Amino acid sequence: MSTRALVACVLLLAATAATTLLALMTGKVGYSPGEVLAALVGDAPADVELFVVRWRLPRAVAAVTFGAVLGVAGALFQCVTRNPLGSPDIIGFSAGASAGGVAAVTLIGSSFAVVAAGTLIGGLLVAALIMLLSRGGGTGGFRLVIVGIGLSAMLVSVESWLVLTADLDVAQVAALWSVGTLNGTSFTHSGIAMALGIAAVVAVIVLLSRRLTLLDLGEDLSGALGADPLRTRTVAVLAGVLLIAIVTAAAGPIAFVALAAPHIGRRLAGMAGVALVPAACTGAFLLALSDFVAQHALPGRMLPVGVVTVAVGGLYLITLIVRENRKGVL
């Protein structure tokens, strides 16, 4: 990693830490930085520890972790597709996980295990279908993107139908979940299972990182250097789908972080090609900041974080399309 990239990652981590500290300090009951730090080390009154450690800390940790995971997933898909719009939000992988989760909530139940199974099955089935329909164009290029966009539109309609035909109470739960929210996040056994799952997938990605870098050299050269492009892309897609499914199971579909984080991370780090660490650092900061805005933008009302990421991400997508169109890429 270059000096510029290292400095960018350190600054992003510092900004993320500052945003997280601000989130722990701010709320209906405010605390000073000293009180927050005392609560974190277990040297604070019971009421301070309750607010900071048990109520606010799990949400702040989830925002940072999920943002980093979404950043890595976005970098993987942009590498696989070799397309600036190669994001799980655009291609349809997130829509598959989301549709699976909504189906699980409306048809079976809303327990974490059921929703997690639904998002994983939905994500993997849609990934397999997208890769099958884009066969002939490989697992990269515009064919995969176009097929994914079409399936994503269909899955949104399926989600709407499931919500409209469900009982009112179930429909409300499904509708809130499908927006993307960190409300009610806590440290539980399911959180430990998610952390282990994320760690396992990230370990696979680290082992795959050299081959992902070789993909930028083209099919023939990367194959000659031992990357095996088809196998590398397939494993990368599966790893990305698993990451998206884990985050979606816990918080619902949080849009556009996976699209924006890799682009911003590469620009800040001055890197070309796969930039997994800058993407993770950028994603952590973006989601931590978005969740802080979601909690405090409207007095007395807490927004789902997905509302904020969609609003900001939509503007970023338009900017990206205009810029790439000027370059002749799109």
> Over 90: is that where the pLDDT of 79 sits?
no
User: What is the DSSP track for 25-37?
Assistant: H-SSS---HHHHH
- Per residue in 27-47, pLDDT (tens digit) is 888 899 999 999 999 888 888
- Per residue in 176-209, pLDDT (tens digit) is 888 888 887 777 756 788 888 999 999 999 988 8
What's the whole-number average pLDDT of the chain?
A: 86
> Over 70: is that where the pLDDT of 224 sits?
no
Average confidence (pLDDT) over 242-252: 92
Average confidence (pLDDT) over 81-104: 85
Using CA atoms, how far residue 66 sits from 45, 203, 249, 253, 283, in Å, is 30, 16, 11, 11, 8
Q: Which domain holds residue 158?
A: 3-327
CATH (domain of 125): 1.10.3470.10
Q: Which has the higher per-residue pLDDT, 312 or 199?
A: 199
> Over 90: is that where the pLDDT of 64 sits?
yes
Which pLDDT band holds residue 226 (cuts at 50, 70, 90)? low
Quote the radius of gyration of the chain (alpha carbons, Å). 20
- Per residue in 145-158, pLDDT (tens digit) is 788 888 888 998 99
The model's pTM is 0.90
Question: How many structural domains comprise the chain?
Answer: 1
The DSSP code for 173 is: H
Predicted confidence at residue 312, as pLDDT, reads 83
